[in-house]
């Protein structure tokens, strides 16, 4: 079969249950997130009371099985939640996204019965998690990491630093990747479940970012941080597999974030052009404006279908490395174009903080960078095409 075709259908129609769930999250976003956006942006932190509501609504454990305290939902439901939140605030959305796709998922998938019982219940009720793979000198070359794990008495000692860790300031639990067998290269990489109060482990400074400013992004430092043997997630040397599989699902979440941001910007632009008058009539009546809106809406819908299709395929048990990369790549590119166009439709007002589109525009940029840059997505797609 040609890599350009597929026999798997694009099952993007939503069920009644999914629509009801999406609408419930959207209602929470408008009622509770929207009034806090400006203050959270200024404070550079998510309001803890809002995070508490995410836990109470089950949004921090959507895909976790109900027998360990989760909602027993699907990747599609995670996608819908992240999209709905991102239409209002991408920073709030990424807190939910990382929790579900990068923290809960690998613990549920690879954790021992003890780890699942110990951590999933907390991650669905009161503990924020973070995923620690990137390092100051290891970004796209994720498996060139220098953080080391060496055997100690009854456990492991971790040494090194991590960078760009989303949720780092608030997290009580971290999934940390370190090389336990450097001589084996990437096959020595091992995943560890590390509690915040681990001796020798400290959370570093918070980054001052262009966008998603309320979402914390921090460094992490390990100085002979001791973790017991039962902190190993999966088997020693299988961390590279866990990292790849987790990021493949995470890219669906980033795609959802991007379509949510773009939709929020487009919603604001449509409302504005109906009110803004020039030459005696609303600018929405000018064909040039109409065509720009139509182009943006078409690109947005195409991205949404790609993201939803990747989520459906993941829920059906398929390998979605190819579809996930395509969805993240296109959704992030689309989001940059659409939010930029929306800023322009506001004219000079779009360049001020009086209106929401400048924030959507700033928040859009991160989509082409984190959880794999656009160039890395292109590489993944090309490998499939040329195999």
Residue 123 scores a pLDDT above 70: yes
Q: Which of 100, 128, 156 is the last residue of a domain?
A: 128
Q: How many domains does the chain have?
A: 3
Average pLDDT, the chain: 96
**Mean pLDDT, to the nearest integer, of 319-345?**
98
CB count within 10 Å of CB 375 equals 11
Q: Which of 237, 265, 295 is the last residue of a domain?
A: 237
Q: Which domain holds residue 44?
A: 16-128
CA triple 26-370-50, angle to 5 deg: 35
Distance between CA 231 and CA 158 in Å, rounded?
12
Q: Is residue 193 part of a domain?
A: yes
Residue 244: pLDDT band (50, 70, 90) is very high
pTM here is: 0.96
Instruction: Indicate whether 114 and 156 sit together in one domain.
Output: no
**Mean pLDDT, to the nearest integer, of 348-367?**
97
CATH code at position 85: 1.10.540.10
**Mean pLDDT, to the nearest integer, of 362-371?**
98
Confidence (pLDDT) at 344: 98
**Mean pLDDT, to the nearest integer, of 221-245?**
98
**Mean pLDDT, to the nearest integer, of 368-375?**
97
Please identify every residue annotated as catalytic.
371
Q: Is residue 157 part of a domain?
A: yes
Residue 168 scores a pLDDT above 50: yes
Distance between CA 307 and CA 261 in Å, rounded?
14
Instruction: Indicate whether 123 and 141 sit together in one domain.
Output: no
Confidence (pLDDT) at 284: 98
Instruction: Indicate whether 153 and 277 sit together in one domain.
Output: no
CATH code at position 136: 2.40.110.10
Q: Is residue 167 part of a domain?
A: yes
Confidence (pLDDT) at 4: 41
Confidence (pLDDT) at 12: 67
Q: Is residue 186 part of a domain?
A: yes
3-state secondary structure 104-167: HHHHHHHCCHHHHHHHHHHHCCCCCEEEECCECCECCCHHHCCCEEEEECCEEEEEEEEEEEEC
**Mean pLDDT, to the nearest integer, of 334-342?**
98
Instruction: Indicate whether 164 and 266 sit together in one domain.
Output: no
**Mean pLDDT, to the nearest integer, of 355-366?**
98
Residue 2 scores a pLDDT above 50: no
**Mean pLDDT, to the nearest integer, of 152-174?**
97
Q: Which of 237, 253, 269 is the last residue of a domain?
A: 237
Confidence (pLDDT) at 3: 41
Instruction: Indicate whether 282 and 379 sit together in one domain.
Output: yes
Write phi, then psi, for 207 (nearest 5 degrees): -75, 145
Nearest to 79 by CA among 208, 294, 205, 252: 252
Confidence (pLDDT) at 19: 96
Instruction: Indicate whether 249 and 373 sit together in one domain.
Output: yes
Instruction: Indicate whether 263 and 336 sit together in one domain.
Output: yes
* Tens of pLDDT, residues 194-204: 999 999 999 99
């Amino acid at each position: 079969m040609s890599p350009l075709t597929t026999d798997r259908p694009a099952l993007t129609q939503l069920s009644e249950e999914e629509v009801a769930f999406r609408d419930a999250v959207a209602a929470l976003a408008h009622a509770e997130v929207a009034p806090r956006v400006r203050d959270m942006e200024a404070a550079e932190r998510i309001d803890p009371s809002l995070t508490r509501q995410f836990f109470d609504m089950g949004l921090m454990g959507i895909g976790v099985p109900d027998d360990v305290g989760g909602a027993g939902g699907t990747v599609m439901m995670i996608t819908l939640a992240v999209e709905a939140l991102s239409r209002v605030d991408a920073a709030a959305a990424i807190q939910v996204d990382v929790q579900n796709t990068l923290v809960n998922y690998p613990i549920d998938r690879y954790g021992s019965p003890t780890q699942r019982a110990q951590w999933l219940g907390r991650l669905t009720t009161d503990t924020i998690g973070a995923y620690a793979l990137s390092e100051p000198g290891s970004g796209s070359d994720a498996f060139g990491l220098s953080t080391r794990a060496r055997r100690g008495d009854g456990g492991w000692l971790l040494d090194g630093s991590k960078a760009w860790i989303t949720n780092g300031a608030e997290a009580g639990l971290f999934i940390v990747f370190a090389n336990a067998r450097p001589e084996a290269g990437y096959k020595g990489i091992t995943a560890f479940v590390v509690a915040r109060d681990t001796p020798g482990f400290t959370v570093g400074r918070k980054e001052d970012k262009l966008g998603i400013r309320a979402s914390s992004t921090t460094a992490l430092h390990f100085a002979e941080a001791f973790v017991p043997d039962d902190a190993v997630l999966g088997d020693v040397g299988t961390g590279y597999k866990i990292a790849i599989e987790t990021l493949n699902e995470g890219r669906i979440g980033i795609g959802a974030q991007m379509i949510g941001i773009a939709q929020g910007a487009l919603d604001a632009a449509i409302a504005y052009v109906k009110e803004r008058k020039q030459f005696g009539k609303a600018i929405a009546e000018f064909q040039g404006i109409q065509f720009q809106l139509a182009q943006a809406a078409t690109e947005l819908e195409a991205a949404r279908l790609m993201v939803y299709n990747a989520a459906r395929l993941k829920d059906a048990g398929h390998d979605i490395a190819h579809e996930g990369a395509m969805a993240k790549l296109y959704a992030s590119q689309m989001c940059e174009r659409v939010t930029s166009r929306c800023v322009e439709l506001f004219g000079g007002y779009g360049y001020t903080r009086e209106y929401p589109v400048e924030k959507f525009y700033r928040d859009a940029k991160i989509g082409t960078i984190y959880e794999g840059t656009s160039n890395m997505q292109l590489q993944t797609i090309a490998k499939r095409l040329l195999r």
